[in-house]
Amino acid sequence: MTVTPMLGDWEIPRISMMRTQEHRKLQEHRIPGRAGSLFQDLGTDPTEIQIAGSVFQEEERTGFLEDARQRFADAEPMTFVADIVAATEIQYVLIESLVVEEHAARPEELAYRMVLRESPPPPPPNDPFGALDSDLLDQAAGFVDGVTDALDAVAALGDIPDFSDPSSLVGGATDEATALLDGIGSIGPSVQSLFGSG
């Protein structure tokens, strides 16, 4: 069964040619004294899909230009299905380039070529708390609850004195001490006369 080439929800019109190009990245390591080289496989480059075709009627030409250029300008990964990508892992592509041509010899024809490039969407962002042990989170929540209970208990005791002013802690005792010292000062002359000091 032939699959209609679809780019997202858009059926690409009047395709005359499709071609894929897949390339493996190989790092060559030359070894002195040995024939040939060793190659390190670094994976594959994104698959390239080339599409060419043409549209003819004025309405079809205008519709093609609007649809193709809007998807090119959006620059967002789109799904792509076609027979030519069967047995591959291609799911999403971007329009890498779009070429549109008109020729005087064929005034009613609008020829196009576009290159699609494989572009999987980025992975979802990591959960910053996903790597934390759930027991650790439970312990932290228990600690916060304990601190909250302790603060509530202190608040239930009543007003807490202001420790920045130590006189509030002793209340009227300072006044009593001052009066006592004044009294001692007044009996000083009597004690001196008793012992005959003059």
Q: Which domain holds residue 73?
A: 6-118
On whether the CB atoms of residues 53 and 16 are closer than 8 A, the answer is yes
CATH of the domain at 105: 2.40.30.200
Burial (CB < 10 A; 0-12, 13-18, 19+), residue 46, is middle
- Residue 124 inside a domain? The answer is no
pLDDT band at 171 (very low <50, low <70, confident <90, very high): low
The conformational region for residue 126 under phi > 0 = left, psi -120 to 50 = alpha, else beta, is beta
pLDDT of 16: 92
pLDDT in tens, 2-59: 678 899 899 999 999 999 998 888 898 888 888 888 888 888 888 999 999 999 988 9
Work out how many domains the chain is built from and give that number.
2
Strands (E), the chain: 6-7, 10-11, 15-21, 24-30, 37-44, 48-55, 78-81, 92-103, 106-118
DSSP SS3 for 90? coil
81 and 155 in a single domain? The answer is no
pLDDT of 148: 73
More confident residue, 77 or 132: 77
11 and 87 in a single domain? The answer is yes
- Residue 132 inside a domain? The answer is no
pLDDT of 1: 45
Average pLDDT, the chain: 80
179 and 85 in a single domain? The answer is no
DSSP SS3 for 141? helix
Of the candidates 68, 102, 118, which is a domain's last residue? 118
28 and 113 in a single domain? The answer is yes
Please give the average per-residue pLDDT across 176-193, as a whole number. 65
22 and 89 in a single domain? The answer is yes
In whole angstroms, what is the distance from residue 25 CA to residue 39 CA? 10
pLDDT of 130: 59
68 and 114 in a single domain? The answer is yes
108 and 17 in a single domain? The answer is yes
pLDDT in tens, 88-143: 888 899 999 999 999 888 888 999 999 999 987 777 777 666 555 667 667 777 77
Query: Closest Cα partner for 39 from 30, 48, 27, 56?
Result: 27
